[in-house]
């Protein structure tokens, strides 16, 4: 797929797990946590360590935001593709749905609050995207 622009439609899959977004101080980063086998992202910066993991594996000593669900864009996506997140996040922003986004080499993951999952699915479908649940 090499389409570009905000008029492009994508197929997304709702992942089954409820996720947590966690923040740790850099000196708290201990990678000996049991963080499950689902979606896991650990991002280090000079100021923080962000962890996205299944809720049940959220580190006890972290600042934690629970109750997130993930819509994964079918990939792999070409790294030169333009407008993927604009097409998806733009539609959700227009409906007042906030997102937390993760990108990997192969695809993008758009997290929305669990309470907003159904409206997010409806919004994305209305915008021409396919959403598999």
Complete domains list, the chain, with CATH: 11-132 (3.30.2130.10)
Percent of the chain with pLDDT over 70: 89
Task: Name the nearest CA neighbour of 124 among 91, 97, 83, 100.
Answer: 91
pLDDT at 102: 96
pTM higher than the cut 0.85: yes
Using a 10 angstrom Cβ sphere, with 0-12 exposed, 13-18 middle and 19 or more buried, the burial of residue 61 is exposed
- Quote the CA–CA distance of 45 and 25 in Å, as a whole number: 10
pLDDT tens column, 37-94: 789 999 999 999 999 999 999 988 899 999 999 999 999 999 888 899 999 999 999 9
């Amino acid at each position: 797929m090499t389409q570009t622009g905000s008029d492009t439609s994508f197929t997304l899959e709702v992942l089954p797990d409820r996720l947590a977004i966690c923040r740790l101080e850099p000196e708290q980063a201990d990678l000996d946590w049991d963080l499950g086998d689902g979606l896991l992202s650990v991002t280090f910066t000079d100021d923080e360590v962000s962890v996205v993991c299944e809720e049940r594996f959220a580190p006890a000593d972290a600042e934690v935001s629970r109750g997130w669900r993930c819509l994964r864009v079918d990939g792999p996506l070409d790294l030169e593709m333009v407008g993927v997140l604009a097409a998806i996040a733009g539609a959700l922003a227009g409906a007042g749905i906030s997102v937390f986004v993760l990108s990997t080499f192969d695809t993008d993951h758009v997290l929305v609050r669990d309470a907003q999952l159904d409206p997010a699915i409806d919004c994305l479908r209305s915008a021409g995207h396919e959403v598999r649940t």
